[in-house]
Structure 1
Amino acid sequence: MLTVLLKQVQPRFIKLTYEDACSPKEYLEESLNYFINTKVEEHGDVYVLGIMVGIVIVVFFLKNLFGYLANFFITYLRNGVLKDIRDVMYKRILNLNLSFYSEKRKGDTIARITSDVLEVQHSFLSILELFVREPLNIIFAIGSMIFISAKLTLFVFIFIPVAGFIISRIGKTLKKKSNQVQTEQGYFLSLVEETLANLKIIKGFSAEDRLQEKFETSTERFKDYSNALTHRQNLASPVSEFLGITVIGTLLWYGGNMVLNVDSGLNGATFIAYMGLAYQILTPAKAIAKASYSVKKGDAAAARILEIIETESEIQDAPNAITAPLFSKEISIENISFKYDQETVLDNFSLKVPKGQTIALVGQSGSGKSTIANLVTRFYDVHKGTIKLDGVPIKEITKKSLREQMGLVTQDAILFNDSIKKNVNLGKEDATDQEIIEALKTANAWEFVKELPEGINTNIGDGGGKLSGGQKQRLSIARAVLKNPPIMILDEATSALDTESERIVQKALENMMQNRTSIVIAHRLSTIQNADQIIVMQKGAIVEQGKHQELLDKKGVYNNLVAMQSFQ
């Protein structure tokens, strides 16, 4: 168009046939020459120029319209992918076994589901359309450039691999530096999480300065890593632009020589169009180079996310696992052995818990009492031996159906930042308000709940922080009472209660445990004197067993434990 309008070629008024043309390029050029000159003859130069301007405006309008539509629709894809990643991660967090979190910092896991997912959004998903659009732009521009001048395009291609090699060398270090940033962020988020959980102890031991120093050391490292990463990222744009303009400058020199050489077949107007196309390559190439740096950075975050998603829980349902039958006979623990890392906790341990009986486990800390509760509920799997429910190994039963038959009250009252109602009905979501109130009464909790501003709908704060230790424990007991399972596991259930509350709750627990199988792990021996069987443990083995009075009469380990607690 430029060549014809600037009168740099002989005007054509007779249409050229395809058969008469020497090449497709000549046919297109001469056909356009004929079209423009006939329109100029009919309507004048200004009219044709107006048509050209109108075409340019329409093309750019369509470009921006479709650009907006691309972003409009890709928003659903981008946010949908983020939702799916978070959902899958949270599901994996719920399903992973407890041992995973004894090795990992909780704050690091939080960092992966928050900041790492956002990094994936910024690094991958925000530039998703770029990896489709820009290569198409480059392919179209290169195709047009080859069409105009294959010789000049071949010259350009000599320089592109050199520029690409330099850019890739810079990008390789970004993943490593980004991984350092993400890891350090996980570390100081862990410090924040631990600080919030243990603020009372930190203040009680005047350890604020020590924790502050530890946190500032971590954020100083984070700053240094972030600076190094940002410097590398900032290098991407100027390097790619400088390399691009070097290619353009070399192209101007070489192409200019071709224009000055009449025999080259390249005129000024065609060369200007060619340079425009060459610059069209530079812009998307620069965008892709910058995006590739971003991808390198996001790659580290993605690897941290995938580490969680691809970690398989060691405790899995067997392929042919069955639903647990309603408990009717006994829990049988047969010659089990278990160890945490290298420390053996239980060795060849056996025990039978008949239906309807209360079995109490007592002994010093570290004797393996709580481990038995963790193994029966299948929070951990035994290394040797078998645990059976009514003769069926629990590894052959689905975890969900096994745990649905068990109620659990732990030493630490684990509550959520929600209402009393939502905390108590955790195991029975469809429970009525009256059922919840009855469970609270059984656990001696209704007395204080009814005095609260909103009763059972009162929010109890983070971890039940608005309640006393005894009140929190009574709510966790009410939660187990409401579930009404055939098997109860009480792990130091009354340890947080004062003497008066303990006596009332102990009576309630005894009533609840009637006709129900119970495994009671007790530190206060006063709470288990009515147990059907008391198992005295020492270093993972049974040293004595029998009823309360029988064991006292033996004058052995149990008697010594009772004496130490001044219980007569």
Structure 2
Amino acid sequence: MNNFKKIFSFIIPYKKYAYLNIFFNILYALFGTLSFVSLMPMMDVLFGQSKKNYVIPTYKGVWELKKYLSDSLSYYLTSITDPNGIGYTLSILVAGIIIIFLLKNLSDYLAMFFITYLRNGILRDMRNAMYKKTLELPLAFFSEKRKGDVIARISADVNEVQTSFLSILELIVKEPLTILFTIIAMLTISAKLTLFVFIFIPISGYVISLIGKQLKKQSTRAQEEQGVFLSTIEETLGGLKVVKGYNSERYFNRVFKESTQRFFTLSNSIGNRQNLASPMSEFMGIMVIAILLWYGGHMVLIEKTLNGAAFITYMGLAYNILTPAKSISKASYNIKRGNAAAERILEILEQENTIKSKVNAIKKDSFDANIVLKDINFKYEDENVLKHFSLEVKKGQTVALVGQSGSGKSTIANLLTRFYDVNEGTISIDGTDIKDINLHSLRDLMGLVTQDSILFNDTIKANISLGKHNATDEEIIEALKIANAYEFVKDLPLGIYTNIGDSGNKLSGGQKQRLSIARAVLKNPPIMILDEATSALDTESEKFVQVALENMMQNRTSIVIAHRLSTIQKADLIVVMQKGKIVEQGKHDELIALNGTYNKLVTMQSFE
């Protein structure tokens, strides 16, 4: 139950609903028992077994409470029957039974009414907490997790936990109290018969626990499998062009079918175990009721120690235990399933965020001198990507990083923005280690244009104003003009208010990249990081954007990661990388004169 104790923190804002639910569940259990007990005086009257009592009873203590209540009831029935007749008494008893059943069902409705707010509140808050944590966790966490699995945890697993909360409240309050009140009523009628009930409950619990074994383990596997096929959906939709272009529909269809088949098998196994609990508990209950009928009939007909009305009422109460017992068995299964889901949710919520601001982190609002990368070692998994890498970028400089794929260029951008932290060495801005700078203010100093133009299913305005949410339309249009994007935006039906579709799929690759550049332009940071910023542009667009980027970079520090060497020939410093190390550095003409690695790269691209 440790997982549920941790999840219970989400109940605190809704504790008033929990208290109200518990209160009305207590009333439900009480009126549920009284609804059966109230039948006894009715049957006594019907069968002519009610005793005449003309003496007002006196209360003589708790041990004689049963006799006092019985005498009080018979006195009341006598006092209204004698002057008004038996018909009037029956009407009063029927009205009383109707009122008790009404109060029972009203209490049940109100208990469910308040728990609805509690359950849906928990559902909302848990999803919000999961999404917030997802945004906060470092990129490294998601390189190891399938996106679909994270989606499954936020949707299906959270829903499973929310559902199981209702089961817990039933398990703790409603059903046990119904059983308790019923047993008390049964004890007052006949202690002998009630011994059979005490034998039934532990035996039933033991049998149900045997059926429920392995349920949590199977539920975990089913929820993991759900994450697998959701990932397959997410990846297929994201790469539909490749799937169709390579005629791979059959392959992906087979992968998806195999996953859903495994989920189907697990779901059947879990469902069948759950479905077995209810009929098993009912069957065991009927077995005990059969014994009660035999023994109770003996007490009524032979021993004459129990009257008929009391015995019929007792049997109704005994059967009344079966429904909550079945509910408890179902609830215990739901808890096992919810526990498996809670583990998967807590794995995200309790995941340590290794990249965050220190308690007393420095808030840095300006960039004044330089960026220094000193003796950096970094690896994503086992192999070092950067080895003893050192570099100084002075304010106002444009520094270009070039080299073959896998040389570690984009890793520099990931480390400067603290998407990842260095394993060894330091990165400092104006002499302050970036680990000591407030993460929010560090990223405020930087504008980032990535190789893949990442856009969202929203308007052009919303996409561009991510770094400056209060930007005016005029500022957005100006940024679009600098990025050479306004020429196509102005022709769109709604201009900057046009929705660009999922991942910007209504636009061409070049158009998407120009919007990414406009987003960085609008943010107007002192440090600009361009990771293959012009790679998706056609030759004509590249020339226009290159001029715009050069204008934008004049009064700021820029780190340009370039594959097309034509875009960085005017850089103040070109750093040539190979397998995580610097092999050459200097200006374009100096590196050409060296006739080394850079010159080979230029020659390969047929650059003159």
In which range does the TM-score fall when normalised by the shorter chain?
over 0.9
Separation in structure 1 between the aligned mates of residue 244 and residue 46 of structure 2, nearest angstrom:
83
1:98 counterpart = 2:124: no
Q: Which of 232, 237, 248 lines up with 2:273 in the alignment?
A: 232
Separation in structure 2 between the aligned mates of residue 18 and residue 338 of structure 1, nearest angstrom:
84
Which moves more between the two structures, 379-388 or 177-186? 177-186
1:522 counterpart = 2:554: no
Which moves more between the two structures, 484-493 or 346-355? 346-355
Alignment partner, residue 30 of structure 1: 71
Letter aligned with residue 378 of structure 2: F
Alignment partner, residue 257 of structure 1: 298
Shift of 1:332: 1.1
Shift of 1:564: 0.9
Alignment partner, residue 155 of structure 1: 196
Q: Which of 90, 106, 120 lines up with 1:49 in the alignment?
A: 90
Separation in structure 2 between the aligned mates of residue 66 and residue 25 of structure 1, nearest angstrom:
26
Name structure 1 gaps, 5 residues minimum: none
Q: Which of 495, 498, 501 lines up with 1:458 in the alignment?
A: 498
Separation in structure 2 between the aligned mates of residue 492 and residue 533 of structure 1, nearest angstrom:
17
SS at match of 2:402: strand
Separation in structure 2 between the aligned mates of residue 4 and residue 18 of structure 1, nearest angstrom:
24
Contact 1:70 1:129 in 2 (8 A): no
Letter aligned with residue 66 of structure 1: S
Instruction: Tell me how large the CA RMSD over aligned residues is.
Output: 1.8
SS at match of 1:537: strand
1:244 counterpart = 2:285: yes
Contact 2:402 2:575 in 1 (8 A): yes
Separation in structure 2 between the aligned mates of residue 13 and residue 200 of structure 1, nearest angstrom:
92
Shift of 1:330: 0.8
Separation in structure 2 between the aligned mates of residue 43 and residue 313 of structure 1, nearest angstrom:
79
Which moves more between the two structures, 402-411 or 219-228? 219-228
Alignment partner, residue 174 of structure 1: 215
Q: Which of 367, 380, 386 lines up with 2:420 in the alignment?
A: 380
Alignment partner, residue 358 of structure 2: 318
Letter aligned with residue 418 of structure 2: R
Which moves more between the two structures, 524-533 or 221-230? 221-230
Q: Which of 571, 574, 579 lines up with 1:534 in the alignment?
A: 574
Map 1:407-556 to 2 at 5 A. 407-556=447-596
Which moves more between the two structures, 14-23 or 116-125? 14-23
Shift of 1:176: 2.0
Shift of 1:150: 2.3
Q: Which of 214, 219, 224 lines up with 2:255 in the alignment?
A: 214
Query: Do the aligned partners of residues 523 and 220 (structure 1) sit closer, same or farther apart at CA in structure 2, a change above 3 Å counting?
Result: same
Contact 2:363 2:438 in 1 (8 A): yes
SS at match of 2:458: coil
Query: Do the aligned partners of residues 82 and 20 (structure 1) sit closer, same or farther apart at CA in structure 2, a change above 3 Å counting?
Result: closer
SS at match of 1:452: coil
Alignment partner, residue 13 of structure 2: none
Separation in structure 2 between the aligned mates of residue 5 and residue 409 of structure 1, nearest angstrom:
88
Q: Structure 1 length as normaliser, TM-score?
A: 0.96
Q: Which of 200, 203, 220 lines up with 2:244 in the alignment?
A: 203
Separation in structure 2 between the aligned mates of residue 68 and residue 133 of structure 1, nearest angstrom:
13
Contact 2:371 2:394 in 1 (8 A): yes
Shift of 1:563: 1.0
SS at match of 1:23: helix
Q: Which of 412, 431, 455 lines up with 1:391 in the alignment?
A: 431
Cα deviation 1:508-549 (Å, max 9, x = unaligned): 101100120111101111111111111111111111111111
Separation in structure 1 between the aligned mates of residue 565 and residue 487 of structure 2, nearest angstrom:
27
Contact 1:89 1:309 in 2 (8 A): yes
Which moves more between the two structures, 512-521 or 7-16? 7-16
Name structure 2 gaps, 5 residues minimum: 1-40
Q: Which of 139, 158, 163 lines up with 1:117 in the alignment?
A: 158
Shift of 1:43: 1.3
Shift of 1:107: 0.9
SS at match of 2:265: helix
Separation in structure 2 between the aligned mates of residue 556 and residue 461 of structure 1, nearest angstrom:
46
* Identity fraction in percent: 65
Shift of 1:5: 5.5
Q: Which of 248, 270, 276 lines up with 2:316 in the alignment?
A: 276
Query: Do the aligned partners of residues 477 and 288 (structure 1) sit closer, same or farther apart at CA in structure 2, a change above 3 Å counting?
Result: same
Contact 1:156 1:251 in 2 (8 A): no
Letter aligned with residue 381 of structure 2: D
Separation in structure 2 between the aligned mates of residue 207 and residue 115 of structure 1, nearest angstrom:
29
Query: Do the aligned partners of residues 22 and 309 (structure 1) sit closer, same or farther apart at CA in structure 2, a change above 3 Å counting?
Result: closer
Contact 1:441 1:447 in 2 (8 A): yes
Letter aligned with residue 185 of structure 1: Q
Separation in structure 2 between the aligned mates of residue 62 and residue 22 of structure 1, nearest angstrom:
29
Cα deviation 1:191-237 (Å, max 9, x = unaligned): 11111111111122111111111111111212111221221122122
Letter aligned with residue 470 of structure 2: D
Q: Which of 319, 331, 334 lines up with 1:294 in the alignment?
A: 334
1:401 counterpart = 2:441: yes
Contact 1:324 1:397 in 2 (8 A): yes
1:190 counterpart = 2:227: no
Letter aligned with residue 447 of structure 1: E
Shift of 1:295: 2.2
Letter aligned with residue 247 of structure 2: S
Q: Which of 89, 105, 108 lines up with 2:130 in the alignment?
A: 89
Contact 2:149 2:230 in 1 (8 A): yes
Separation in structure 1 between the aligned mates of residue 69 and residue 335 of structure 2, nearest angstrom:
42
Alignment partner, residue 352 of structure 1: 392
Cα deviation 1:458-513 (Å, max 9, x = unaligned): 11111111111111100000000000000000000011111111111111101100
1:328 counterpart = 2:395: no
